[in-house]
Amino acid sequence: MRSMMRLTLNGKRTTLDVHPLKRLLDVLREECALTGTKEGCGEGECGACTVLVDGVPVNSCLVPAAQVAGARVTTIEGLDGRHPLQGAFVEHGGAQCGICTPGMIMAAVALGRNPTLHQIRVGLAGNLCRCTGYMAIYRSIAATREGINRKDRRERRVKRSHSQRSKNDRPRQFAGKTSR
């Protein structure tokens, strides 16, 4: 028995005609062709199938489709390959065979911009990796955080120097007027 359901999938309003008890993991992979979300254990133990539902990481192998009706679901495809974490995982060896990687990245996205090492460890405790020994994954996330911070600092510096320049310009114009 299939039924219609609506959700926002990777930012797009989507209507699906699916069995309400079909696993979200299968809905994503089979009905939506979003095969970036992987199946590992299929029983909520490994985190390979992690996606975000309303910003919260969930194991999509445990979630029936009906539970995400009206929700915002984000998969690895929703990051468009442009999220800084994706580049950092490649650069710092956080991705090896790649099976755990989409789930790791989605769980890491949910940690926000400035997670501490402790928050990273706790946030990723439900995501298993057989290849990396975890340190490369932690390093990748930490590098992203530092990269973002470096970018923030650069942007703040540029803004400060622009506002400094416009402050410096103002008195010169004023002085020019009064000297006439």
Sign of CA dihedral 70, 56, 104, 115: positive
Residues of this chain that interact with ligand FES (CB under 6 A) are 39-42, 44-49, 59, 61, 95-101, 129-132
Map tokens 């192998």 to a residue: 61
Q: How far is the CB of 43 from ligand FES (least distance, A)?
A: 6
22 vs 148, which CB is nearer to ligand FES? 22
- Smallest CA-to-CA distance from 57 within 42, 73, 41 is with 73
- Smallest CA-to-CA distance from 141 within 116, 164, 122 is with 116
The structure tokens listed for 152 are 């923030």
Q: How far is the CB of 81 from ligand FES (least distance, A)?
A: 18
38 vs 145, which CB is nearer to ligand FES? 38
Q: How far is the CB of 23 from ligand FES (least distance, A)?
A: 9
Length of the chain: 180
10 vs 37, which CB is nearer to ligand FES? 37
